[in-house]
Amino acid sequence: MPVRTAGGFTLLEVLLVLVLIGGATVLFTLNADKIIEPQPMAELEKAFHRAQSEGRWMAVEDRKTYRLVWDKENQRFVLLDRAVVSNYPIEGLEGKPSKLNATFFYQVPLTKGASFQDSSWYRADSINLYPDATSPLFKVRLEDGTRQLELEVEPFTGFITKRSG
């Protein structure tokens, strides 16, 4: 009678394959930011959201008015008091040449009788973030070379109410 050997893999072989797959996954995860090319407009928008939301909370916690500005030379958003309080670089694009820009606009509603009318947008160098977590009604125009994105920001929550571009 012939002897039959069981087919398949040994436990050691299965564990070795699992360790190799796990190691490859860890290496990919740690280097994913270097593998995947960052999208400048998406990174600029993320930096803006981070800067304005953290700035609102800092204004509330410190009971101070802070100014949010775009530092064109260093390609980053900056939160100012009398000096730089915090800065928000564009992730993945530090030190790389780019044509990023952010321009702020604010609006002052005009009253006519009991109702409000839309007024014009005025360009501003900075936007104030107040200690009660509000800001003026403002929009920011984010630019990456030829592409533009305008975000209108609700003054009481900081949520984006209108998006165009």
Please, what are the domains in the chain?
Answer: 40-164 (3.55.40.10)
Can you list the residues of the chain whose pLDDT is less than 50?
114-115
What are the tens digits of pLDDT across the range 122-164?
899 999 999 998 888 899 999 988 889 999 998 888 898 888 8
C-beta neighbour count of 82 within 10 angstroms: 6
* Spatial contact of 133 and 60, defined as CB atoms under 8 Å apart: yes
d(CA 96, CA 137): 33
Burial 23-53 (b: 16+ CB within 10 A, else e): eeeeeeeeeeeeeeeeebbebbbebbbebbe
